[in-house]
Amino acid sequence: MNHTDHNDICSELIAAARRCSENGMQSGNGGNFSARIPGTEEMYVKARDTAFSEVSVRSVVRTDFDGNLLEGVLRPSKESLLHGVIYRTCPDIHAIMHCHSPYATAWASTGMPLPFSTYHSRLKLKSTVPVFDTKSYIVPESFFPQILSLFKEEPETTAFLLRGHGLVAVGKTVREALFRAELIEETAQIAILERLLTAIPGNKPIDFL
Ligand SMILES: [Zn+2]
């Protein structure tokens, strides 16, 4: 891994964050993202109090998996510890996107796993997308064992939802984590609209079987 590769990872993270902002998946300065630096116990992570819309090289900092700042001047995201523990436990996960996208967050209020409302989501999301009710704006460390056991028991897990908070999508690359976050939001939007429409007498939900 050379300096250019590192720059590529940062550029991908910045582009992904801007895209999330532009497509309405994250407003204000919430949400965060990170990417593992291959071959190390380090990651690039969004700095605290930075909006997705204004992320720059300065607001992507380098930390270890305990969230200790290694490079940069801004403080890393409060969720760095969660991201680090996921990278440490799951060697196939290289990127994480977390945002407060409205439909996924609305679905999380049900406490039920996200229903795969389209053929595409069924094909791509594979494993259940569960909801964790952490009762907090940040994932407390007491929830880490539950989250890690999800990835251990279901290695194909692509994402999970946080009740009253948002979504967390993972991937082998920044691109994959971004696309999964977008698909989760799209799937939640369609699931919610489908349920509203099928409340009309005579309309039936899609039968995938
Ligand atoms: Zn959040």
Which of 66, 28, 27, 21 lies closest to 45 in space, CA to CA? Answer: 66
Q: How do residues 28-86 score in pLDDT, each as one tens digit?
A: 999 999 999 999 999 999 999 999 999 999 999 999 999 999 999 999 999 999 999 99
> What does the pLDDT read at residue 177?
98
> What does the pLDDT read at residue 209?
52
Written as six digits, the tokens of 49 are 């109090």
Residue keyed to tokens 């930390």? 63
Residue 106 lies inside a defined structural domain of this protein: yes
Residue 68 lies inside a defined structural domain of this protein: yes
More confident residue, 207 or 154: 154
Share of the chain above pLDDT 70, in %: 97
Which of 189, 176, 180, 10 lies closest to 106 in space, CA to CA? Answer: 189
Residue 154: which pLDDT band, with cuts at 50, 70 and 90?
Answer: very high
Domain CATH for 105? 3.40.225.10
How far does residue 168's CA lie from ligand 1's centre (Å)?
9
What is the tally of structural domains in the chain? 1
How far does residue 138's CA lie from ligand 1's centre (Å)?
6
How far does residue 5's CA lie from ligand 1's centre (Å)?
28
How far does residue 82's CA lie from ligand 1's centre (Å)?
11
Residue 132 lies inside a defined structural domain of this protein: yes
How far does residue 6's CA lie from ligand 1's centre (Å)?
25
* pLDDT above 60 (res 98): yes
How far does residue 166's CA lie from ligand 1's centre (Å)?
6
Domain with 193 in it? 3-197
Is 132 strand, coil or helix? Answer: strand
- What is the identity of the amino acid at 17? A
pTM of the model: 0.94
* pLDDT above 80 (res 208): no
Residue 51 lies inside a defined structural domain of this protein: yes
How far does residue 197's CA lie from ligand 1's centre (Å)?
30
Across 175-204, average pLDDT: 93
Residue 55 lies inside a defined structural domain of this protein: yes
> What does the pLDDT read at residue 145?
97
* pLDDT above 60 (res 4): no
More confident residue, 99 or 4: 99
Which of 128, 146, 136, 39 lies closest to 85 in space, CA to CA? Answer: 146
Taking a C-beta distance cutoff of 8 angstroms, is the pair 170, 95 a contact? yes
> Which residue pairs from 75-80 have beta carbons closer than 8 angstroms and sit at least 24 positions apart in sequence?
75/47, 75/48, 75/49, 76/45, 76/46, 76/47, 76/48, 77/32, 77/34, 77/45, 77/46, 77/47, 77/48, 78/32, 78/48, 78/138, 79/32, 79/138, 79/139, 80/34, 80/43, 80/45
Q: How many CB atoms lie within 10 A of CB 31?
A: 25
Residue 209 lies inside a defined structural domain of this protein: no
Residue 207 lies inside a defined structural domain of this protein: no
How far does residue 107's CA lie from ligand 1's centre (Å)?
15
